[in-house]
Amino acid sequence: MPHAEPLLLELFAIFVWAKVFGEIFEQIGLPAVVGEILAGVVLGPYATKLVNPGTTTFSIAQLGAIFLLFTVGLETSPRELIRVGAASLRISLAGVLAPFVLGFAYLRLVRGDPTHEAIFVAAAMVATSVGIAARVMGDLRVLHTRVASIILAAAVVDDILGMIVLAVVAGLASSAGVQWVQLVVLLVEAVAFTVFMVFFGSKVIHRMRPGVERMSTQNAPLILALALCLGLSVAAERIGMAAIIGAFFAGLSFAEYSDEWRLAPRVSAITEFFAPFFFFTMGSRLDLRVFEPKVIVACVVVTVLALIGKVVACGLPVLREGWLSALKVGVGMTPRGEVALIVALVGLQMKMMSQAAYAIVIFMTAATTLIAPPVLRYLFKRDKPEAAT
Amino acid sequence: MPHAEPLLLELFAIFVWAKVFGEIFEQIGLPAVVGEILAGVVLGPYATKLVNPGTTTFSIAQLGAIFLLFTVGLETSPRELIRVGAASLRISLAGVLAPFVLGFAYLRLVRGDPTHEAIFVAAAMVATSVGIAARVMGDLRVLHTRVASIILAAAVVDDILGMIVLAVVAGLASSAGVQWVQLVVLLVEAVAFTVFMVFFGSKVIHRMRPGVERMSTQNAPLILALALCLGLSVAAERIGMAAIIGAFFAGLSFAEYSDEWRLAPRVSAITEFFAPFFFFTMGSRLDLRVFEPKVIVACVVVTVLALIGKVVACGLPVLREGWLSALKVGVGMTPRGEVALIVALVGLQMKMMSQAAYAIVIFMTAATTLIAPPVLRYLFKRDKPEAAT
């Protein structure tokens, strides 16, 4: 395999650098993902030029995004989702609308960006990352509290809403101009896909269960889950949505059997391998030359709007439980993650987004992910002595 | 990600078809790997043309080969290897030499093939697949018997010898003509790498252990194992060996900690995802047009020589334990696997092998893998009533 060497070397370098930056970030108490993205920025073609991800690495990065969302789906119980769904839906909907409207208004009206670009950046401001908040609250051992379960449920609903927004935005952008009929068709399609997968995905797997357990193939459930993950990713793209949406719903369908079939630890091992390529590649595409004063201002404004939008819109519905709880829920919903990055990626690939807009999204994602954990930690710690006294 | 669709669709099709063929083979009592290879032959560009693996898929297939050997290494205890090594080395050495000499003599002297091609095909006849024999004996619940442990130990040593042969052969072929100095250098290099990794790989990991356990990164041991797998693969290629050799030794270094760090199930999940692409791609490269009468004769002769070589050379050293034990060991050593396929792949990539020679290796690999299990089953079952009376 001598001519494959450049690829292997590239994969090795990306994997190790992403993990080294991630470890350094963890050591100083910051989220590892931001370190992995920064590794891509620092080592990528726009800065030190040490690693220049090629097309194959890029494909592997896309598999990373698919497996990231597959894992999130696998850890989301559809039954639990239906139970808390109605309550969380209010928080999520408000938290999706507010940043989108704020972001779009600022970019389109204040900055005068093209409509499609403003829509993409605004769409990236929508989805909360389940992982970051869960990690912080897990470290603080407060995952069992009411506030934590509100945050987690709302963040998951948020992910779904974010993907619906992405589906609609990507569908819109690929056609010439905004067509209302198409918008409605896409929205209906996305909602129908979501409702079907949330309510029936699990039941389909339940039906297939006896067959799966009779199969002779070793690890048949894992194989079936992987096949469905790839299959629904393809299907999602076919109907004009992003592949990750299919992957998320594939995970969701298997969530109820995740323990029984020991899927979660094994799928997350696959994600452990693929994910660093995704985060590194996202960072490596950030052209540092775009950071002129006007773009830096936009980065900061969009980040502030992304923060305010979530804190206010998600906190308000919880206000009757006290301002501290409201603030915790609001802050817990601020970190953006994979979905924001993927929106930016789709936008860049469809040439709907300039390098500057891409930079704004990466900045906003990294900043919200960095700001939320310490604030959340402070709020929960502030709470503890009160609870003790 | 719209323009990635062809890739995802291709990956989905390959994964599902490979697994469907594998399942059908398992259902009729044949090894799944042969089914996965056959899927590639049947659906590939030389037959029905339904799936034509592109360059990215090919890279993913190579990662499949790397993870296959990484898993084999992870399941091989270096301590156990050192313990049974001396005894198994005799069986392995004989079993490596005999098929190589028989194969080379037939191809070079009888068929008059070019030297480099004869060397490559002969090298592919060398390595026993640990997986096939282990699976059959596991199904028969005879893994605890003395014969089984002889077979497994010898098969592992065999894999290592096979990879040393590959290293030497690939190194030789890449230079112009056979140079004895270079041959000796490569042999020393390969043996030194092997000895170092078998005796010290595990100790290096042992030294790093406190550091690994202090790391903040989640799943630090898995991350480190994956990094070493990629790193040693690159290193192996750098010194002129195949990447899989590095991957195998990376696995071997972590084998002692595989249980403690729960590496085996998680790494094999990654392999489950990647491996089907390897086997399918190997099959898809088989040009069916080469099967003219002369090549078919060569396929059969090479397969027979591959069988006789192993049965006689591996059986003889065990003869004093009775002819039935000798026959079991001999037959248990006959199935070829990943290493044979990788030798063929390297040969094809280096243009050291014609399509006909590639076809001979694929045929030999599939045939030995198909023939061994039923014969082994028959021999072990024949044994059981005797043991009972």
A175 at interface of B, judged by CB pairs closer than 8 A:
no
Give the per-residue pLDDT at B146. 82
- The C-alpha atoms of residue A165 and residue B326 are separated, in whole angstroms, by 67
Give the per-residue pLDDT at A81. 75
For B294, other C-beta atoms within 10 Å of its C-beta total 11
Give the per-residue pLDDT at B384. 60
Give the one of A55, A62, A230 whose C-beta lies nearest to B15's C-beta. A230
Decide if B5 and A234 are in contact by the 8 Å CB cutoff.
yes
Give the per-residue pLDDT at A388. 41
Decide if A4 and B243 are in contact by the 8 Å CB cutoff.
yes
With 70 as the cut, is the pLDDT of residue B3 above it?
no
- The C-alpha atoms of residue B51 and residue A342 are separated, in whole angstroms, by 28
Query: B24 to chain A, minimum CA–CA distance in Å?
Result: 9
Residue B215 has phi, psi (to 5 degrees) of -65, 145
Decide if A2 and B345 are in contact by the 8 Å CB cutoff.
no
Give the per-residue pLDDT at B140. 80
**Do B91 and B160 touch, CB atoms closer than 8 A?**
no
State pLDDT tens for residues B226-282: 999 999 999 988 877 778 888 988 998 999 888 888 998 999 999 999 999 999 999
Decide if B2 and A226 are in contact by the 8 Å CB cutoff.
no
Give the per-residue pLDDT at B175. 61
Identify the bridge partners of residue B336 per DSSP, sorted by sequence position: B128
Give the one of B26, B234, B268 whose C-beta lies nearest to A5's C-beta. B234
Note which residues in 88-147 of chain B have CB less than 8 A from chain A.
none
Residue segments in chain A with a per-residue pLDDT below the cut of 50: 1-4, 386-389
State pLDDT tens for residues B98-155: 999 999 999 999 999 888 899 899 999 998 887 777 878 887 888 778 888 888 888 8
Query: A12 to chain B, minimum CA–CA distance in Å?
Result: 5
A5 at interface of B, judged by CB pairs closer than 8 A:
yes
A23 at interface of B, judged by CB pairs closer than 8 A:
yes
Mean of the per-residue pLDDT values for chain B? Answer: 87
Closest of A299, A241, A318, A272 to residue A106, by C-alpha: A299
Contacts of A343 in chain B (CB under 8 A): none
CB within 8 A of A224, min separation 6: which ones? A208, A212
State pLDDT tens for residues B160-174: 788 778 877 777 766
Residue B219 has phi, psi (to 5 degrees) of 55, 40
- The C-alpha atoms of residue B369 and residue B306 are separated, in whole angstroms, by 11
Give the per-residue pLDDT at A187. 79
Decide if A32 and B217 are in contact by the 8 Å CB cutoff.
yes
B48 at interface of A, judged by CB pairs closer than 8 A:
no
Q: Considering Cα of B69, then B74, then B75, then B76, what sign does the dihedral take?
A: positive
- Indicate the residue type of A159: D
With 70 as the cut, is the pLDDT of residue B4 above it?
no
- The C-alpha atoms of residue A142 and residue A148 are separated, in whole angstroms, by 7
> What CA–CA distances, in Å, run from B83 to B74, B77, B89, B198?
17, 10, 11, 12
pTM score: 0.90
Burial of B210 (0-12, 13-18, 19+ CB in 10 A): exposed
A54 at interface of B, judged by CB pairs closer than 8 A:
no
